[in-house]
Amino acid sequence: MVSRRAVLRTALAGAAGIAAGAVGAREIPHWLGWDRPPVAGGYAAAADDLDAVHHPGVAVHYYVETTEPLVAFTFDDGPAPHWTPMVLDALDAADVPATFFMVGRQLERNADLVRGRLDRHAVGNHSWAHDDLATLDLNGALESLGRTEDEIKRQLGRPVELLRPPFGHLGGSTMLAADRMGYDVVLWSKAMREKMFHDDPMGQARDIVDSVRPGSIILAHDEGDDRRLVTVRGLPVMFDGLRKRGFRMVTVPELIAAGKAPGTASH
């Protein structure tokens, strides 16, 4: 027997569908909330605009298949006054290179924090204002990424070849924008779990040391609230523990270069 409540739910759902058809897709994103697909104006990841395509595909790296004991630390969202200097100090003390995915607006404000300190490190694009590229059309994504690339070149004199989309979102025009700008996309295979280890920085360190595998890409942040201290305070122990396991820390470009050539994967 169908309950009155179930009938009412079905009727409401049908009414919503009819209303959506009446107002058109342009209004739907506003109903779906902040984290929404770009129904109005954005592309799917498919290359449905061949005029925008410069390459036959875009490489997406979330780890690198390698038999060498290599691992790459990455830091997102900076540079920022609170944590970026502490992260750089920890990297310098341990002689560890890393990869920084920078937010253009943050670099514009805080370039002095990193200028002259990045010789051993790689730099990538993380959008202008931590924009969710999955909600932007191609022009919007290109504007955010292009402005950030220009800022990195202006402030640091560095080429830009890597993109980490904010939130790891690959929807919208993210892939087409990466294609147009000649970027590889870099995600991650292991993330800092700072909330879980809020009162136990050494627990976070042990989690990283024990779980990393050859070719891992580790996600961390050098901007944000006080929970970032869980990562920052644990970095020396992470570096020491990984070295004791035989690992060597490298930048993401170095890790990619060390990956197996196509067709050499073992089965």
Active site residues: 76, 221
Q: Three-state SS string across 193-207, please?
A: CCCCCCCCHHHHHHH
Contact 80, 232 (CB under 8 A): no
Structure token digits, residue 245: 């396991």
Q: Does residue 66 contact residue 214 with C-beta atoms inside 8 Å?
A: yes
Instruction: Measure the CA angle with vertex 82, ends 76 and 87; round to 5°.
Output: 55
User: Residues 164, 167, 169, 175: what is their CA dihedral angle, to the nearest 10 degrees?
Assistant: -20
CA distance 149 to 138: 16
Among 99, 126, 115, 103, which residue's Cα sits nearest to residue 220? 99
Can you list the alpha helix ranges (DSSP code H) found in 46-171?
Answer: 84-94, 104-114, 138-156
> Two tokens at 60?
């997406």
